Structures are given as C-alpha cells and as structure tokens.
Amino acid sequence: ISTRADLSKAIARGNREGGPAPFRMGVSQDAKDPTRMSVGIVQSGLGMPNRDYYLDAKFASQKAAYEAHVAKLLALSGVPEAQAKADAARIVALETQIATAHWTNVENRQAEKRYNPVAVAELPAKYPGVDWATFRTITGIEGEAKVIVNQPSALVGIAKLVETAPLEDWKAWARYHTLRSYSPVLPKAFRDETFAFYGKTLSGTPQQEERWKQAVNLTT
C-alpha cells in the first residue's frame, strides 16, 4: 500500500478474501424482498467488540490492554519493539476514529434504519474517499444495480478516513488485523498472545481449548 488507490484495492481484496477491511460487504436475503438476495455493506474495522470500548471511560483498562496486545503481536511478527509500540498507538488511534463514526448498539437494533438501498453508481457521490470503481471490479459487484447500506453515516465517516488518515496508519492497521486473523494457524506464540487478550482479558475464559479441538474447529 503506497497510494490511496492501493488502499482501496486492499480494502476490496479484504472484502473478497476475508482479509482486513474497515467496512464489510456480504450477500444475504433482502430484508424487504424475500425473493431476492442483496449485497449489503456494514460498518467494521474495530479490533474490540464495539465503539464503547474505545469511547467510554469505563473501558479504559481494556483499551490499554488492547494496545499492549497489538504491540506484542506486531513484535512477534518481526517488527522492532519500539516500532511495534508506536504502530500499536497509531492503530488504536485510527480505530478510535473509526469507532467515533460507528453506530451505537441501540441504533443498530433499529432494523428499519439499517435498510438503505443505494444505487451502485451513486456510491462515489454518497460515500467519497473510496475508489468504488475499483472496489466494484475486485469484489465482482459491478453487475449489481444497488447495495443495502446498513449504517450510512458510519460509511461516510469511514470512507473519509480512507481518504485522509495517514497511509502508514492504515498499513499498520492492516498488518495487525492480518496477523490476528491468521493467528490460529501461526506459531504457538501468536495463538497464545491472541488468546491472552481475546480469551482472558475480554471474555474471562481461563484457558484455551485443547489443541485437537482447535484443529477440529478450523475444519468446520
């Protein structure tokens, strides 16, 4: 990722291949027309469960633990320790900006407000900052007439960050989330560190499942 165009390509590939992306595209039954399947776009991009973990002071300890975890995972991948800590701070700062744009849990429970059909041709005008032409081609939705945007204001904010946030921040963010996604099949140190934060700190799970159970889960 060395240009904004590269960033849009990376986001599109993340959606197509299941990699990191600050918003998610998927296909499901249309909420207002059960006879058809529709493409939907939802807010994403956070490493913690929702916006409250970034913006509510009561989650300050979890936010600090998350930043420390991000730095450890980056360091395990070969990033020098000082750089890993600096990158972790950048990642958490970027995700905090993403979280500010996100809808709250209460807003997300209002199904009617989450149904916002948008003509594919109108995406660039409504959500500037993303190279939507490239996105359509890479994800294969160029033949679709419309998409359902679940959280319009969140997509506006996220697209703006794609356009304005430093590329180095996005590159660090993508590096961490790629490592996190693949941690189950990386060396034990990666699995242990990821579990230490997501299992113990966030969920209160005392220990990982036995190795054979982890393996079976990866095949289902």
pLDDT digits (tens, 9 = 90+) for 48-72: 999 999 999 999 999 999 999 999 9
Give pLDDT tens digits for 97-112. 999 999 999 999 999 9
Give which of 142, 129, 133, 125 is closest to 39, Cα–Cα. Answer: 142
Helix (H, G, I), strand (E, B) or coil at 173: helix
Report whether 73 contacts 85 (CB < 8 A): no
142 vs 136: CA distance, rounded Å: 5
Q: In percent, how much of the chain has pLDDT > 70?
A: 100
Q: Would you call 117 helix, strand, or coil by DSSP?
A: strand
Per-residue pLDDT at 56? 97
Q: What is the mean pLDDT of residues 200-214?
A: 86
pLDDT tens, residue by residue, 153-206 = 999 999 999 999 999 999 999 999 999 999 988 999 999 999 999 999 998 888
pLDDT of residue 220 exceeding 80, the answer is no
So what's the pLDDT on residue 205?
82
The whole-model pTM stands at 0.94
| pLDDT recorded at residue 186 | 94
Structure tokens at 119: 């003509």
Rounded to an integer, the average pLDDT of 135-159 is 95
pLDDT, residue 167, reads 98
Predicted confidence (pLDDT) per residue in 24-38, tens digit: 999 999 999 999 999
Q: Are 59 and 46 in contact (CB under 8 A)?
A: no
Specify the pLDDT at position 210: 87
